[in-house]
Chains A and B, each alone.
Chain A
Amino acid sequence: MDKGVIYFPSKPSILAAGVVVGPLEKRSVFVQNFDLVYDDELADQKTNEQGHQIMIEEAAQIALQKKKLTKDSLDFFIGGDLVNQMTPTNFAAATIASPFIGMYSACATSTSSVIIASLLTELGGSQYALAGAASHHNAIERQFRYPVDYGGQKPATAQWTVTAAGYALIGKHQEGEPCIEAATIGKVADFQQSDPFHMGAAMAPAAFSTIQQHLKGRGQTVQDYDVIMTGDLGKVGLPILKEMLRQAGLTTKQLETVRDGGAEYYGDNPLFLAGASGAGCSASVFFSEILAELKSGRMKRVLLVATGALLSPLSVQQNQSIPTVAHAIEVTMK
């Protein structure tokens, strides 16, 4: 059997989603599908981390409001971020006050959270569960790299951590809503990449392995999908993934199906170098743009493959390589 591939017979639905972003994300090509854009990256709080927490709470609140629910009707809250010990999500979970498990899959947390929420729903243990992820540029940069105002030169392969929070409301199957048919929990890939300013190269093999695993396990080909979208490989990582898929036998036509949220996020703006990254990147693209495409019927079946680099500042300084992982969810619309 193909390990990691999960099929959901009851087809849990994505009932609604909330996506909030920071001020720079106004320039995203996906901006018209975001629910709320903050003008202040601190969200009127004192610290970046508190602003981060407020954005998570707001995204959760918006998702619930769309179905006219309050947080009391929530059975589970599952999510994470990239700050040490995920304190912003933990504090947000304290506000939301529903049963909570923190998820850390780095930037692949958006889909790993949805997988857990779908499993809880499939088991019959959950009526409504919120699943998602978030990141905050300033809070993450200072932790993983340098102080925000430090004048270091970033290479063209570097990506820009987005300030965004995206949460999806997962519930029992409902007609007329996109539903989660299957998922693949990815294996950790380590191809001995060690450049923390070149995440795309580190993560592409993880995306490749998870996509192959999912198609094989489900007996599908790329043609079965309207789009296969990775999370944040960026403008350099995406061509690497495509080349790996091409070598595995995909045609140029088939490769057009493969897109990447991080590569498209800020359009062609050169200031953002190789594009967007961060746990909030895949969450804010998948739960806004892609859900809208599914709901409108323009897309019928998509594979969402969030990609995460499982490094820490410590592991980089100790000269270790960057292990990466990708988790996929197959979302369909009747």
Chain B
Amino acid sequence: MIASFIMAFVVGGLICVIGQLLMDVGKLTPAHTLSILVVTGAILSGFGLYEPLIDFAGAGATIPITSFGNSLAHGALAEAEKHGWIGVLTGMFEVTSSGISAAIVFGFIGALLFRSKGNID
């Protein structure tokens, strides 16, 4: 159990380090950085490399945004395997719906509960 925590910390931290380097050295905006990481996750999934990373690092691989690209591609690949051409389009959100639906629902609830404040501390 301790080992899983350490693996999650190290792998998750390293993915964030790649993001920080893209922002600081590559001079990219956060939106560009996150888009690149998502695309990377999808490509790794295509090569079948992301699922082993999840087995290895647990939340260290499922929590970073790369996991989002992986689940999208994973869903599309699984459906494509079952249904061929049609599956490429239909399967995409099968695995990944929870992140987007949670963001929409909590975004809406957040808008109901809070208002933006210009606080600094």
Contact = CB atoms under 8 A, between A and B. Distances in A.
A–B contact with Cβ pairs below 8 Å: the answer is yes
Interface of A: 22, 24, 41, 137-138, 141-142, 147-149, 152-153, 160, 163, 271-272
Interface of B: 23, 30, 114, 116-118, 120-121
Contacts of B114: 149
A272 B120 contact: yes
A22 B117 CA distance: 12
Contact of B121 (A141, A142, A271): A271
Contacts of B121: 271
Contacts of A160: 120
Contacts of B30: 152
Contacts of A138: 116-118
Which 5 A/B pairs are nearest by Cβ-Cβ distance? A148-B116, A137-B118, A138-B118, A271-B120, A149-B116
The secondary-structure label for the interface of chain B is loop
Nearest to B20: A153
A138 B116 CA distance: 8
A148 B118 CA distance: 6
Nearest to A141: B118
Contacts of B118: 22, 24, 41, 137-138, 141, 148, 163
A137 B23 CA distance: 25
A322 B30 CA distance: 20
B117 A41 contact: yes
Nearest to B120: A271
A149 B117 CA distance: 7
Query: Which has the most chain B C-beta neighbours within 10 Å: A24, A149, A153, A271?
Result: A149
